[in-house]
Structure formats: structure tokens, C-alpha cells
A and B are shown apart, each in its own frame.
Chain A
Amino acid sequence: MGKRQGGLYPILFLTVVVLISVIALTVTNDITEEPIAEGKRQAIMEMLQSLFPEMDDFRYDEESERYTVTADGTLLGQAFMAQGVGYGGPIDILIGLELDSALRGIQIVSQKETPGLGAKVTGATFLNQFVGQEAGTLALTKDGGAIDAITGATISSSAVVKAIKDAVLEQSGNNGGGE
């Protein structure tokens, strides 16, 4: 077989391969960038929708990293993301706030908790407990609060509670007295 082994050929070959690879990837990225972004926007919209069913529009403010949710132009409330340190990794939470800063509800965006245990934080039974609560006094029942932790998943449950509490406190700090 006449495989050339000498001198620069291997390097040249590899360089060409790499170049083709980069081109292929860049092209694919260009093609998929839109669908991926659109998919994310869809996902956020669906989650906001389930928190604010009467919503018909929302806007995202880059600076404050907050979503303002409206229906017919009237402000319904706000939402923003929080991240908790769960058992299996970060837990991304979407927090919905009423106009008066009470919790509208929360949605778990992503988590890596144990299926059947910590993963139950995504379940309605757990999530519904947050509706109407005041974020500032949020706590698990074992700490004197109103949220029942999931049996056998205290870490996941308290991670969610802590994340919400911290995020809301931080946001109201940036708020400067409401909008």
C-alpha cells in the first residue's frame, strides 16, 4: 500500500481534517442555533404559562434577569430563575412572584436528583405548597416552616427552599422598592 509517511504529510493531513471538522461544526451550529434558542424560549414560555395561566405576553429584562408577565398589557407579576445546590447537581428553579411579592408558584426547570426520591420535587404535591407563601419566611416544617419536605429527600427539598429564599432576597435587594 502506498501510504505516505514522510515528513510534513501527517501534519498536513491532520490539519486538513481539523479544518473540515471546524467547517462542518460551524455550519451545523448555524443551522441549529435558532431551533435551540427557540426551544428554550418555548420551554420558558410554557413554564411561565403554567405559573401564570392568564398570561398572554412576557418580556425579559437582560439586566435584572427578570421576566415581566402581562395579560392585556396589565402587569401580572414577575418571574426569575434561581439555582439551588441539590443532591445530584444544580437545581434550576423558575420562581413566579405576585405583584405583592408573595409567591405565585415555582417550577423546577432542571434537576439531577434521584428518581423516585429527590426528583419528586418536580411533583405537584411538593410544588403546590409554595403557592401563596412569603419567600422571606419560607422554611421546611422541620425548621418550623410550612413546607413539607419529601420523605427521604431532605437535601433536595431544603435545596429548593434555600434557593428560593436566597433568590427572592437578592432580587428584592436589587429591586429598590418595587416596580
Chain B
Amino acid sequence: MQSVKESFTNGIMRANPTFILLLGLCPTLAVSTSLDNAVGMTAAFLFVLLLANIIVSSLRRFIPDRVRIPTFIVIIATLVTLVDLMLQGFVPELSKSLGMYIPLIVVNCIILGRAEAFASKNRVVHSIADALGMAIGFGWAIFIVSLIRQLLGSGSLEFFGVHLFTVPGLEENPAAIFLLPMGAFFVIGVLLALFRWMGVSESE
């Protein structure tokens, strides 16, 4: 039985959803064009994953096996719609930027996967730790990818309107390819190889 701490650190490195488990790649690649997006997506993701884990874990003794998956789906879909509506209402810029990838969180393999594999079988405290760990793992992964893509793709870094950093010479002629889908594939591919090379174990 894992300790609470183990459940937490699991998602950050050892079983990092993006780089190790290779789950939830769709949003990571799609919205990682700016730091703002990365933060927004992570926040939405955290909200859904945390609450979903808490709810599923709390109800785990009551959820009948036969309707297990539909129940998870309804819970997650509801949470996702909640996030979507709240973003639209209170942070419309971000909502527009993240677009349909917010509602697509509902089919994010990470969330459904954690509900199925973890939250339905573990206590609430552990499930909370797991959710936080996974969200942080997802978060820093998407953050790094966004950092690279935004920096190389537009020459400068901006964070919620605060201009952080400009690479001289790059801003006028940025490597726009990084903002395109293929740039995303490239960045992830290289980062994955880097991970491999650093010796972090992989579950394939």
C-alpha cells in the first residue's frame, strides 16, 4: 500500500503522465503554444482531476461495477462542463485560446485512467495526493513544452501580459515552425529522448 507521499510523487516524475505514461498528449501538444495556455490548461486539468478523484474515491463503495465507466464519464463530463462555463464567463480570453481542448479534457486518458485505476480503489487522501501529483506532472510537462515553443516560435516570452524575455534577433524572425503542429511533435520527441537518455525508467 503506497504512502500518501508516494502517491503524490508518483505523478510528478516516475509515472509522469506526459513523458512516461504518454497519456493526455492531445492537449499538451495542441495548446502548448504559450505559457498562458499552459497555465490555463493545467489549472482546468487540476480542477477536474482533483474533484473527479475525490468524488470517485468517496463513492467508491457505492458505485456498482456494471455502471462504473458511465458513472465516471458523467462525473468527469460534468466537471469539465463546469470548468468550461466558468472559463467562458470569467476568463474569456483564455477560453478562446484553449478552445475545444477544454471540453476535450473529458476524454483525457489521464483523468479517466486515474479514476479507474486509482481513485476507485484507494482512499480519498491518497486519491487527492495522486491527483495533485499527476496534475503537477502534467503541468510542468506542458509548461516546458510551451516555454520552448513560445520562445523559439515567437522569439519572446510573455506571461499573462507581462513581457518576460526576448531573444534578440529571434523576435523578428522566429522559427514559426515551433508554433505549428509539427514543431510540437518535434519538441516532444526530443524531450522524450532526453528523458530516456537521462535514464528515467519507462513503462511501455
Q: Give residues in A with beta carbon < 8 Å to B.
A: 1-5, 9-11, 13-14, 17-18, 21, 24-25, 28-29, 31-36, 39, 43, 110, 114-117
Q: Give residues in B with beta carbon < 8 Å to A.
A: 33, 61-67, 70-71, 74-75, 77-78, 81-82, 85-86, 88-90, 92, 96, 153-154, 174, 176, 179-180
Given contacts A14-B70, A17-B75, A115-B180, whether A25 and B90 have CB atoms under 8 Å apart is no
Please give, as numbers and ranges, the residues of chain A lying within 8 Å of B86 by CB-CB distance: 28, 32
CA distance A43 to B93 in the complex (A): 10
Please give, as numbers and ranges, the residues of chain A lying within 8 Å of B92 by CB-CB distance: 36, 39, 43
- Given A36-B89, A39-B89, A43-B92, 10 extra CB contacts under 8 A: A3-B63, A4-B64, A18-B74, A28-B86, A29-B85, A32-B90, A34-B89, A36-B88, A114-B180, A115-B33
Contact B89 A25 (CB under 8 A): no
Please give, as numbers and ranges, the residues of chain B lying within 8 Å of A14 by CB-CB distance: 67, 70-71, 74
Within the complex, what minimum Cβ distance (angstroms) separates B67 from chain A?
5
Main secondary structure, interface of B, reads helix
Given contacts A3-B64, A31-B89, A32-B88, whether A115 and B96 have CB atoms under 8 Å apart is no
Contact A10 B67 (CB under 8 A): yes
Contact B179 A35 (CB under 8 A): no
CA distance A31 to B81 in the complex (A): 13
Please give, as numbers and ranges, the residues of chain A lying within 8 Å of B74 by CB-CB distance: 14, 17-18, 21
Closest to A42 in B: B92
Within the complex, what minimum Cβ distance (angstroms) separates A45 from chain B?
13
Please give, as numbers and ranges, the residues of chain B lying within 8 Å of A25 by CB-CB distance: 78, 81-82, 85
Given contacts A24-B78, A25-B78, whether A13 and B67 have CB atoms under 8 Å apart is yes
Contact A17 B71 (CB under 8 A): yes
CA distance A124 to B166 in the complex (A): 22
Closest to A15 in B: B67
Contact A3 B62 (CB under 8 A): yes
Please give, as numbers and ranges, the residues of chain B lying within 8 Å of A117 by CB-CB distance: 176
Which residue, of A5, A21, A33, has the highest number of chain B Cβ atoms within 10 A?
A21
CA distance A31 to B86 in the complex (A): 9
CA distance A39 to B96 in the complex (A): 12
CA distance A129 to B127 in the complex (A): 57
Contact A3 B67 (CB under 8 A): no
Please give, as numbers and ranges, the residues of chain B lying within 8 Å of A39 by CB-CB distance: 88-89, 92
CA distance A33 to B96 in the complex (A): 16
Within the complex, what minimum Cβ distance (angstroms) separates B84 from chain A?
9
CA distance A29 to B86 in the complex (A): 9
Given contacts A39-B92, A115-B179, whether A21 and B75 have CB atoms under 8 Å apart is yes
CA distance A32 to B81 in the complex (A): 12
CA distance A21 to B89 in the complex (A): 19
Partner of A21, one of B77, B90, B153, B174: B77
Please give, as numbers and ranges, the residues of chain A lying within 8 Å of B180 by CB-CB distance: 114-116
Please give, as numbers and ranges, the residues of chain B lying within 8 Å of A21 by CB-CB distance: 74-75, 77-78
Closest to B71 in A: A17
Can you list 29 A-B contacts (CB < 8 A)? Answer: A1-B61, A3-B62, A5-B64, A5-B66, A10-B64, A13-B62, A13-B63, A14-B67, A17-B75, A21-B74, A21-B75, A24-B82, A25-B85, A28-B82, A32-B86, A32-B89, A36-B88, A36-B89, A39-B89, A39-B92, A43-B92, A110-B96, A114-B180, A115-B33, A115-B153, A115-B176, A116-B176, A116-B179, A116-B180
